[in-house]
Structure formats: C-alpha cells, structure tokens
Amino acid sequence: MVDTRVVLNGVTLDNPVIPASGTFGYGHEFAELYDINCLGTFSFKGTTLSPRFGNPTPRIAECTGGMINAVGLQNPGVAKVISEELPRLRTYFHKPVVANVSGFSVGEYAETCRLLDACPEVGWLEVNVSCPNVHGGGMGFGTSPEMAAAVTRAVKAVTTKPVWLKLTPNVTDIVSIAKACEDAGADGISLINTLLGMRIDLKTRKPVIANKMGGLSGSAVKPIALRMVYQVYEAVKVPVIGMGGVSSAEDVLEMMLAGATAVQVGAANLVNPFACRDIIKKLPCVMEKYGVEKLTDIIGGAHNG
C-alpha cells in the first residue's frame, strides 16, 4: 500500500491535493457533485475586508495551453464569509480549510487575517500578495521583498495559525521575495500565481478582456511554476505549496520532486469540476508506477545528485 499522506505545518493531510483559490469558490458547488472530503484541503475564494464586485466583463479569454482571467477578487467581504460561508462550509467539509486573503493596504491584510484566524474552520491563512488583476493591491505588494515582508510581519503579529505568502511569478527574482517573507515569519510559501497576459480580438482590434490584461493559468505555465518552486525550495526552510498548470497525478509528483510539500490545482477545476477527485483517485496507481511508496520521500527529490 502506498502512503499519500503529507504533513503541512504540523497537520497531516490525507493527500497533497488542494484546489487553488478562485477555482473552487467556498466549496459548496463542488460538494453537490462529489464528497470533497477526499481532498487534502482546499483554498477558498480570495477574501477581502470589504465586499468587491470585481472587474467589468468580459473577464475571461481562452488561449493556447490555458486561459486568462481578470475577475478582480469578486467576493462578499470577510464579514459575510465568517457569518454565512464558513458555517455552511462546516456542514459539508470536515477538515481545516485554507483561507485565502487579499488586500489593498498592509492594514487591510492584517485585519482580514485577524478576523479569519479566530474561525475554527480555518487551518491556514494564505496571504495573496500576487493578484495581477486589481489596481492598487495584490501584485503591488508581491513584487517588492520589502513590501511582501511588511505584509507578512503585520499578519503574523495578529494571528496564531500558519501563514503562507502566495507569490507572483511576475518578478525577476522570486527567491529574494520568498526569503524576505520567510525572514519576516512566514510559515510557508505558496507559488505561483498567474502570469500577466492578454489577448486581442482581430475583428474589433481591441483587448478581449475589459481589464485589458489578466492572469494566465493552465498547462502553459507549468514549466515556469516548476522552475520557481525548485528555486524557492533551495532557498527556504519552510514548506513550499506548489501550483501552476497541475492537471494530473503525474504533475503532482513532478511538483513534489521540485520541492512542493503540497500541490494546488487551479485552472483544471474550471475545465473539469472532478479534476481534483480524479487526480486523487489516480495518485496511488501513478505512485506505484514510478516506485514511490511514500509521497513524503520524494519532496525535493529532484535536488538530489
């Protein structure tokens, strides 16, 4: 029997498969399709201090090897998440969940995290300093080591649960930012978020997305994600949560060999709502195929030799 369990900040997960924020909502739509307790955990929709309507439409554009989105952090705000979404989540998901948080100031990040930290359903806080689709927040904090560290320190000062910093790939030196977050107290590094991209409509000769640009995700970004996970794993001692183009059990093993302790699945959920369930089902067979008895044995395995 193979062992798919992994340990993340002292918590044992049945497997390393985690639906990524923004692709799984708060879980209830997927819970109507299958028992989502098969997941390691999941990262719920990016939440801000105040409600957000998001960006104007159209927000999505298809492209070769993936998709571009500019949803703009549409969410009901942290108060409604705590009063409505989390109590409902408790009825169909019986594991600690990852709370994904975004903001437009250091203070907003800290306050939203403080409120979610007090919720028993939340096991981890994933602080998104990497969203390319909003103006005045998100990626603006994640492209500077100093700003990313400032957000990390502010959040850690008001929370007790593990804090991951979700980083943007839209930088020249991902390692310096990851190190700055670790030095400021981060308990994990989550990467990568989407790459900034765009499409142009040949008929109208205008950008397809109303926001002009958006975040590219899907299989096209996987080689970049693997490279960055590999680099960050070598530089930090905290766990790395890897994502970017993951859509199969083989992709999970590859991401873990690069250095990921757990693996998030994003765009694949939007193509196939059963993607994570299917990956988990196939994982033992793929482990046997490649001679892997325990997943924990291969974390960072590509760095050996």
Place of tokens 């602080």: 127
Beta-bridge partners for 206: 201
Q: What was the pLDDT predicted at 56?
A: 93
Q: Would you say how long the chain is, in residues?
A: 305
Q: What was the pLDDT predicted at 241?
A: 98
Q: What was the pLDDT predicted at 131?
A: 61
46 CB-side CA count, 13 A = 27
H-only helix segments in 52-138: 78-80, 86-92, 106-117
Domain presence at residue 62: no
The range of the structural domain enclosing residue 23 comes to: 6-55+76-195+215-303
Q: What was the pLDDT predicted at 304?
A: 83
Domain presence at residue 280: yes
Q: What was the pLDDT predicted at 132?
A: 53
Domain presence at residue 71: no
What sign does the dihedral 183-188-191-196 (CA atoms) show? negative
Q: What was the pLDDT predicted at 135?
A: 47
Q: What is the mean pLDDT of the chain?
A: 95
Q: What was the pLDDT predicted at 305?
A: 63
Domain presence at residue 45: yes
Report pTM. Answer: 0.95
Domain presence at residue 173: yes
Strands, E, within the chain: which ranges?
6-8, 11-13, 17-19, 60-63, 66-69, 97-101, 122-128, 163-166, 188-191, 195-197, 200-201, 206-207, 214-217, 240-243, 262-265
Q: What was the pLDDT predicted at 137?
A: 53
Q: Is the pLDDT of residue 199 over 80?
A: yes
Domain presence at residue 111: yes
Selected catalytic residue, list 113, 119, 131, 181: 131
Mean per-residue pLDDT for 147-170? 96
Mean per-residue pLDDT for 244-254? 98
Mean per-residue pLDDT for 233-252? 98
Mean per-residue pLDDT for 192-208? 96
Strand, coil or helix: what is 243? strand
Q: Higher model confidence: residue 141 or residue 67?
A: 67
Mean per-residue pLDDT for 13-39? 97
Model pLDDT for residues 68-119, shown as the tens digit of each residue: 999 989 999 999 999 999 999 999 999 999 999 999 999 999 999 999 999 9
Model pLDDT for residues 220-234, shown as the tens digit of each residue: 999 999 999 999 999
Q: What was the pLDDT predicted at 293?
A: 98
Tell me, yes or no, if 131 is annotated catalytic.
yes
Q: Is the pLDDT of residue 140 over 90?
A: no
Domain count for the chain, please give it: 1
Strand, coil or helix: what is 7? strand
Strand 262-265 and strand 240-243: the pairing is: parallel
**Radius of gyration for the chain, computed over Cα atoms and rounded to the nearest angstrom:** 18
Mean per-residue pLDDT for 204-216? 96
Domain presence at residue 205: no
Mean per-residue pLDDT for 18-45? 97
Q: Among residues 147, 74, 142, which one has the least CA distance to residue 106?
A: 147
The two three-digit tokens of residue 68, written as one number: 């571009």
Cα–Cα distance, 107 to 92 (Å, whole number): 32
Model pLDDT for residues 2-13, shown as the tens digit of each residue: 999 999 999 999
Domain presence at residue 65: no
Give the CATH number of the domain where residue 28 resides. Answer: 3.20.20.70
Confidence of residue 133 (pLDDT cuts 50, 70, 90): very low
